[in-house]
Structure 1
Amino acid sequence: MFIKGDKVLYPLYGTCIIEDIVKNQILGDMKLCYTISIPKERMQVSIPVDRADTLGIRYLVDSEVIETILTGFYAEKTDPVMFENQRYCSELNKKKIKSGDIFLEREIIRDLTRKRLFNKLGNDDTKMLNNACQVFISEMMEVKGLAHEEAVQILDDVIEKCS
C-alpha cells in the first residue's frame, strides 16, 4: 500500500503523487481511496486502494532500471504482425501501456518507432507513441532528477541512434 507523499506511476498519465488516503462512498460502500495528483493534467483523481494494482499504478523504478532500458532499447526484435495488422498492434499496445510495466512501455516506443520507418503512423499509433514517450520521460525526469528538455533529449538520442 502506498502512503501519503509517495511518488508513483499511473500508466496513462505518468508520474503522480499520492496526496491523501481517505474513505469515500462508492456505490453505497465505504472504500479506502488514494487521492492522486496528476501534475501533467493539473488534476486529482480518487482511486480505490484495491484497484490500484489492476490500473497498473506502481512505485517508480530506480535509476539502474532506467539505464537498463536506455542501453538495451533496441536489443529485441519486433513482432512482424505489428507491421501487418493494425488492430493487433493497437490492442497489444493498449494492454502494454495499461500494465504499467516500464519494459512493455519501452516495447511500445521501440516497435512504433520501427513501424514509423516503414509507414506513416496513423492517428492511433501516433497518439500511443507520444503517450508512451511522455510517460517514460516523466518517470526518467523524476528518477534521474532531470529537466524535461534533458529527458526528452536523452530519449530522442536513443531513438535516433538506433533507428
Structure 2
Amino acid sequence: MFEIGDVVIYSEHGLCKIDDICKKDLFGETRLYYVLHPLGEQTLKISTPVDGKKKRIMRTLNREEALELMDVFGKPGIDWVDDPKHRARAYQALVQSGDRQKIAEVAGALMDKKLNTDQKIYDQDRRILTHVQSILFRELSMALGISIEEVADQVEERILAVTPQ
C-alpha cells in the first residue's frame, strides 16, 4: 500500500501525488480511498479505491529502471502495423497494459515513423504519441533528474542511431 506523500503513476493522469488516504461510504459500502492529484494540476483531485481493480496505480521508476527503459529506445522496437485502424487499436492496447517497456516500444515506433519518413503520421498516432510522451517522459525525467526536453532529446538520438540509413 502507498502512503500519503508518495508520487505514483495513476492511469492516464501519469505522475500523481497521494494527498490523503481515507474511508468513504458509497452505496452503503465503506472502502479505503486514495485521494491524489496529478503533478502540475493542483486543482484536480482524484479519489480511487485502494483495492481498485479498474485503474492501476504503480510506483514510479527508480534511476536504474529508468536507465534500462531508456535502452529500449536504442533497439529495434515493435513491428509497424500498416493499417491505421489496426495500429491504433494494437498500440492503444499496449499503452493501456501499463507495461512500461511496451509503452516505450510504442513511443519508439511512432517517433521513428515521425522522424524518419516524409509521410505525416495519422492523428490517432499523434494522439497516442503525445499521451505516451507526456506521461512516460515526465516519469523518466523525474527518475533521471533531467528535464523532459533532455529526455526527449536523448530518446530521439537513440532512435536515430538505430534507424538504417
CA distance in 2, matches of 1:85, 1:135: 26
Report the counterpart of residue 114 of structure 1 in structure 2: 112
CA distance in 2, matches of 1:27, 1:154: 49
For structure 1, the 5+ residue unaligned runs are: none
Using the TM superposition, give the Cα deviation of residue 46 of structure 1 relative to its aligned residue in structure 2, in angstroms: 0.6
Report the counterpart of residue 139 of structure 2 in structure 1: 139
Report the counterpart of residue 3 of structure 1 in structure 2: 3
Corresponding position: 1:104 with 2:105: no
> 2:83 pairs with 82, 85, 88, which one?
85
Amino acid paired to 1:137: F
C-alpha RMSD over aligned residues = 2.1
Report the counterpart of residue 155 of structure 1 in structure 2: 155
Using the TM superposition, give the Cα deviation of residue 154 of structure 1 relative to its aligned residue in structure 2, in angstroms: 2.6
Runs of 4+ in 1 over 6 A off after TM superposition: none
For structure 2, the 5+ residue unaligned runs are: none
The count of corresponding residues between Structure 1 and Structure 2 is 160
Q: Identity percentage over the alignment?
A: 24
Using the TM superposition, give the Cα deviation of residue 157 of structure 1 relative to its aligned residue in structure 2, in angstroms: 2.8
| Pair 1:134–1:70, CA change in 2 (3 A) | same
Corresponding position: 1:125 with 2:125: yes
CA distance in 2, matches of 1:40, 1:91: 29
Task: With the length of structure 2 as denominator, give the TM-score of the two structures.
Answer: 0.83
Matched position secondary structure for 1:55: coil
Q: Deviations over 1:8-58 (max 9, x none)?
A: 11241221111111112333322211111102444221111121x542320
